[in-house]
């Protein structure tokens, strides 16, 4: 019997990584740039300069990714917050660009088929 995954907007989640990193010294700038690049390598997209987000098919996948960030990628200084919200909650977000409201349709530019 095949088991079909139901893609419910209450089961699909978005993982947000928000951070404020020191960038006074060259070393701090390099660490901040490396952290941003590491997030991009994991498939995150930049929402704002210090806010990155990623679509995850389940809360378990989001939790595993969050753990990887915590254990392997955190820079030595600064503040990093990781937030998970459902796709339904994400669809209720009001997003603006240059005073023009942007649709939050939950579509992602990349789809994982694993």
Q: What is the DSSP letter of 73?
A: I
Is residue 43 assigned to a domain? yes
Residue 44 lies in a domain: yes
Residue 107: inside a domain, yes or no? no
Residue 61 lies in a domain: yes
Number of domains in the chain: 1
- Domain of residue 50 covers 13-102
In a domain, 75, yes or no: yes
> Rounded to an integer, what distance in angstroms lies between the CA atom of residue 10 and that of residue 16?
16
pLDDT per position as a tens digit, 84-98: 999 999 999 888 888
The CATH number linked to 40 is 3.30.70.240
pLDDT in tens, 38-89: 999 999 999 999 999 999 999 999 999 999 999 999 999 999 999 999 999 9
Rounded-to-integer distance, Cα 43 and Cα 65, Å:
11
Residue 23 has pLDDT above 90, yes or no: yes
């Amino acid at each position: 019997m095949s088991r079909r995954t139901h893609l419910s907007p209450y089961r699909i989640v978005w993982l947000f990584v928000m951070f404020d990193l020191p960038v006074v010294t060259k070393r701090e700038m390099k660490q901040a740039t490396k952290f941003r690049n590491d997030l991009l390598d994991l498939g995150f997209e930049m929402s704002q300069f210090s806010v990155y987000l990623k679509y995850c098919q389940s809360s378990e996948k989001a939790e595993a990714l969050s753990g990887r960030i915590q254990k392997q990628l955190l820079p030595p200084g600064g503040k990093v917050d990781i937030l998970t919200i459902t796709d339904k909650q994400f669809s209720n977000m009001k997003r603006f660009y240059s005073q023009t409201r942007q649709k939050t349709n939950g579509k992602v530019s990349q789809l994982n088929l694993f």
